[in-house]
Amino acid sequence: MQLFNNRKGVSIYEIFALAILLAAAWVGDSIGSQYSNMAGIAGMVILPLLLIFAIERLAWLEREISLGQKPLPKCVCGKETIDSLPEETRAGKKVLCCSCGRSYDISGRGTVKIIENGDSRLFATWKSFKGWQICDQKESNDG
């Protein structure tokens, strides 16, 4: 049962990914072997590498378009980036808390909300191919 609960074994996703890579190697060998044995070996190596590269580029594109990439912007006080702040649970929500007393909610897609005195407002949004854009710059560094 270690296969499914991932305590010491591997997860089902890792087995699925390995199966896809082996299938890509088999297809690369089948295509390349039509020309020569060396082409079959090259296809067995190159096709899985191309598959990994294509999947990684698609994941990058999804993060670039809608999710937002790290590092997140710095806290309003300017001490550290939001993603390096310690995590706490408040009112059933996971928030990142700075030593200056501000908390940040990063649960939205491509948004960072600041929580101060129980109020939540938008702090930064992710703009495609531009990065994190600070929405409200009323406060200066009070570090």
pLDDT at 137: 54
Q: Residue 141, SS3?
A: coil
Beta carbons within 10 angstroms of residue 6's beta carbon:
12
How far is Cα 86 from Cα 76, in angstroms, rounded to an integer?
16
Cα(70)–Cα(10) distance, rounded to whole angstroms?
Answer: 27
Contact 15, 3 (CB under 8 A): yes
Q: Is 40 exposed, middle or buried (0-12, 13-18, 19+ CB in 10 A)?
A: middle
pLDDT attached to residue 142 = 43
Q: Which backbone phi and psi does 42 adopt, to 5 degrees?
A: -65, -40
pLDDT at 6: 53
**CA dist., res. 7 & res. 126, Å (int):** 36
Per-residue pLDDT of the chain (143 residues; tens, 9 = 90+): 444 555 567 778 788 888 999 999 999 999 999 999 999 999 999 999 999 999 888 888 877 777 777 777 888 877 788 877 888 777 777 888 888 878 888 877 778 888 877 778 888 888 887 888 888 655 444 44
Closest CA relative to residue 64, chosen from 16, 124, 110, 121: 110
Backbone angles phi, psi at 112, to 5 degrees: -125, 125
Residue 7: per-residue pLDDT: 59
- Domain residues of the chain, as ranges? 2-67, 82-134
Instruction: Quote the CA–CA distance of 50 and 32 in Å, as a whole number.
Output: 15
